[in-house]
């Protein structure tokens, strides 16, 4: 990325000339180049501006320059700009590598959380299965107890009817004697 002042210095023109060319040839510039003062120019923007300056030095008209730009013609960056471009690329590569490392670390953390969640889910699943087995066992016990109560009720009813429908008196419950 380049500043307007850097491009102006390479071409030996004022920054106002660069801004004028950005305005006049805005269809060939990146959105970042059109943001106003303080904007950054891409390598393609800088090559386009270099081509425009060279064509203007040759006395070409705006229409002729526009036609050539539509045909895809661009200039080359000065050597000093090319080394900056390589430095920028190296810096971008370094940033991308750091970003990749961050993404890997984040992915590792997420995988660890996923493994932990799977372990917790398996534990909860086992607890649920154990609770379901205990519930089934308790329901079986309850079923047997209900059958026992029915059986006892039937026995009591049979005794009641055997006694002619009279309920025998209950003997009083005496507290245990103290010795």
**What are the tens digits of pLDDT across the range 139-172?**
999 999 999 999 988 888 888 888 887 766 665 5
Q: Alpha-carbon distance 155 to 168, whole Å? A: 14
Give pLDDT, residue 88.
Answer: 64
Query: Which tens digit of pLDDT belongs to each residue from 20-60?
Result: 888 888 888 888 777 767 778 888 888 888 888 888 888 88
With respect to residue 41, please indicate whether it lies within any of the assigned structural domains: yes
Alpha-carbon gap, residue 26 to 76, rounded angstroms: 19
Assign residue 6 the CATH number of its domain: 1.10.1660
- Comparison of pLDDT for 73 and 65, the residue scoring more: 65
Q: What is the pLDDT of residue 84?
A: 57
Give the end-to-end CA distance of the chain in Å, rounded to a whole number. Answer: 107
Domain contains 170: no
Query: Which distant-in-sequence residues (6+ apart) come within 8 Å of 42 by Cβ?
Result: 1, 2, 30, 32, 33
Return the residue matching tokens 């920054």: 15
- 80 and 41 in contact (C-beta within 8 Å)? no
List the domain range (segments joined by +) for residue 12.
2-77
Tokens 């379901």 belong to which residue? Answer: 132
Question: Does 137 have pLDDT greater than 70?
Answer: yes
In this prediction, residues 66-93 reach a mean pLDDT of: 70
Decide if 37 is inside a domain. Answer: yes
Q: Are residues 67 and 13 in the same domain?
A: yes
Are residues 122 and 55 both part of a single domain?
no
Average pLDDT of every residue of the chain:
82
| pLDDT band (50, 70, 90) for residue 86 | low
Q: Name residues whose C-beta falls within 8 Å of residue 19's C-beta, 6 or more positions apart in sequence.
A: 4
Same domain, 56 and 105: no
Q: How far is CA 34 from CA 1, 26, 119, in A?
A: 14, 7, 54
Judgement on whether residues 107 and 141 belong to the same structural domain of the protein = yes
pLDDT of residue 41: 85
* pTM > 0.75: no
* Distance, CA of 42 to CA of 32 (rounded, Å): 8
Q: Which of 47, 77, 107 is the last residue of a domain?
A: 77
What pLDDT sits at residue 123? 92
The verdict on residue 94 lying in a domain is no
């Amino acid at each position: 990325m380049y500043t307007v002042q850097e491009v102006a210095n390479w071409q030996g023109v004022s920054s106002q000339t660069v801004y004028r060319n950005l305005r006049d040839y805005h269809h060939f510039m990146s959105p970042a180049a059109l943001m106003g003062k303080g904007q950054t120019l891409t390598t393609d923007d800088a090559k386009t501006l270099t081509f425009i300056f060279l064509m203007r030095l040759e006395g070409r008209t705006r229409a002729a320059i526009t036609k050539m730009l539509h045909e895809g013609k661009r200039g080359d960056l000065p050597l000093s700009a090319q080394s900056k471009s390589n430095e920028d690329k190296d810096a971008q590569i370094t940033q991308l590598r750091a970003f990749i490392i961050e993404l890997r670390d984040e992915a590792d953390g997420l995988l660890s959380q996923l493994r932990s969640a799977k372990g917790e889910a398996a534990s909860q699943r086992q607890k649920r299965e154990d609770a379901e087995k205990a519930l089934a066992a308790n329901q079986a016990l309850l079923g047997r107890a209900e059958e026992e109560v029915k059986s006892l009720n039937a026995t009591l009813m049979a005794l009641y009817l055997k006694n002619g429908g009279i309920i025998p008196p209950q003997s009083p419950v005496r507290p245990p004697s103290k010795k």
